[in-house]
Amino acid sequence: MAKSVRLIDSTLRDGSHAMAHQYTSDQVRNIVKALDDAGVGTIEISHGDGLGGSSFQYGFSKEPELDLIKVAAETVSKSQLAVLLLPGIGTREDLREAEKYGVKVARIATHCTEADISQQHIGLAKDMGMEAIGFLMMAHMVSPEKLLEQARLMEKYGADSVYVTDSAGALTPDGFRARVRALVEGLGVPVGVHAHNNLQSAVANSLAAVEEGAAIVDGCCAGLGAGAGNAPLEIIAAVMTREGYDIGGVDWFKLVDATETTVRPIMPRQQIIDGPALTLGYAGVYSSFLLHAERAAKRFDVDPREILLECGRRKLVGGQEDMLVEIAFELAQQKAATTN
């Protein structure tokens, strides 16, 4: 019997970063319909930084987040909707409001050393009858053993599954395998993976993870996501099918059609691994920093790669986007001093 792999699409959540959070209701409706038709069982939608993320710090959404969730809920016929929530950005009330619109899956995300702050939100999700998924972000920053310790906390709080989340796209297959193996062997719940493509390893990492026992794999159509993007879901579906895995009725032909006709035409730019995106993976920097770094670089006339390298040296994590302006200013001062 073929091993089952559950695919979750994040085009309307992680893809929000690459869209500068400017999704419209019509775009959401079209993408949800295409994914639903392709048999994708779970579709994630929210601001790129999760519920409540629309702000000066992270970037304002073009349309209110709950309006987009409502459109998605009115469009799906077979799929279920998921949202991301980062404690400290989103609140329990945000999660309650999303659940009222029919959201069935809550993905509760913390930094890889801060699983303890997820307890209330995982608990609330379970109290409301939702599926609760624990997300351990920036997983490259700790050892497999430390990641397992944090994953066990999420499992203890009631998470139905826990993710190895390579937010920086900094892991290569060996490191990804080790972290997935640790969680698969040490947890009693399924393990999921979420890979970014800054080192062009997202598909290879996802396949390696499944070989190690991961049961859930994230992706985005055309890889649309933060940094150089995520594992392209249409490629993940094709690769998993080719390798003999059961992907739960997902039609990868239809996923390719959804990508080509619905997602690619609205992308501000195609997902490529240019210098700044590659630097994200090399330096181990949070993928959503890319557009923030490019804006700061333009403002202060400095190289965005230098900003990102300094972010890596300082070990910045999600939530510290404001620091990029400070770094860019400091680099501009250094550049001026050297020139003079």
Q: Strand, coil or helix: what is 109?
A: strand
Cα(316)–Cα(310) distance, integer angstroms: 9
**CA distances to 8, 207, 248, 262, 291 from 38, in Å:** 12, 21, 11, 12, 30
The residues assigned a catalytic role are 17
Tokens of 238: 């094709």
- Going by C-alpha positions, the residue among 36, 39, 15, 3 that lies closest to residue 252 is 39
236 is written with which tokens?
């993940």
| H or E segment and range at residue 9 | strand 6-12
Q: How far apart are CA 155 and CA 177, in angstroms?
A: 20
Which helix (H) or strand (E) covers residue 33, if one does?
Answer: helix 25-37
Please report where in the chains the tokens 């003999």 appear, as a residue: 244
CA 337/CA 32 separation, integer angstroms: 52
